[in-house]
Amino acid sequence: MQKFKIAIPASLTFGNLLSGFFAIIFAFKGELMISTLFIFLSAVFDTFDGMIARKLNIPSNFGVQLDSLADLGGFGFPAAIITYKFLFDSNEIYGFILGPLFLICGAYRLARFNAELTEFEKKSFSGLPIPFAALTLVAYINMVNPAVNKSELFIYHAVIAAIISLMMVSRITYPAIPKLSASGIKEKPLFFVFMIAGILLTFSYGFTAMFLIFASVILFGIVTTIFAGKRPESSPKH
């Protein structure tokens, strides 16, 4: 029974990794939309593997390490390749630099998270989590890809890609997603209202709404971290 319990979240973690594999295949084919959908599927698997592990009371350091490796395959490599394919058409140098930049920052972010992990239940994260960074970046690329002349605006796309990548290795604090349970909803009702509104807006307005929502969350983390650092009672991080 214990082995069966362990296999449940592990299978979801491998689902994250496999989704990233198919995202890479379609990215190389130039099918950025399909590749993006597989990254979103990776996010679904990534959301539920840890949740189920905690629900079954079987979180482990092995599971954390496996999850990080899967995140690099499910988000790091696919988002990096999509960025490369998107920017390479306009400027080869930007494609060669910013694609790997996302991958390197994502790998560093995952390694730092594992090294600093002291408990399995996290209330906040230091730096933008790689799933969120990948989803923000591919939402932006899909938003602008069919609508603008990349050769004229590639510098703006490059700056946004660089900012999202570097946010992962920053020390900006972001709250952890609360549990999808009655207690979690009661603890942070506004989060779930925001999440439902975001889903509805995404279905109505597509990648434009999705990117704007994700960008708002990123800016919220920056503002709250700055103000938290200015409070007299706040202690410096060591």
Q: For residue 152, count CB atoms less than 10 angstroms from its CB and return exposed for 0-12, middle for 13-18, buried for 19 or more.
A: exposed
pLDDT of res. 235: 40
pLDDT of res. 45: 93
pLDDT of res. 232: 46
Tell me how far apart the terminal alpha carbons of the chain are, to the nearest angstrom. 42
User: Tens digits of per-residue pLDDT, 220-233?
Assistant: 899 988 887 655 44
Which stretch of 89-93, 106-110, 169-173, 178-182 has the lowest confidence by average pLDDT? 178-182
Higher pLDDT, 68 or 148: 68
AA letter at 74:
G
Q: Give the C-alpha separation, 82 to 174, whole Å.
A: 25
Average pLDDT over residues 144-157: 69
Q: Give the C-alpha separation, 73 to 178, whole Å.
A: 25
pLDDT of res. 197: 83
Structural domains in the chain plus CATH codes: 2-178 (1.20.120.1760)
Q: Are 137 and 164 in contact (CB under 8 A)?
A: yes
Q: Has residue 30 got a pLDDT over 60?
A: yes
Q: What's the gap between Cα 176 and its chain centre?
A: 12
User: Tens digits of per-residue pLDDT, 123-140?
Assistant: 778 899 999 999 999 999
Looking up tokens 């494609």 gives 95
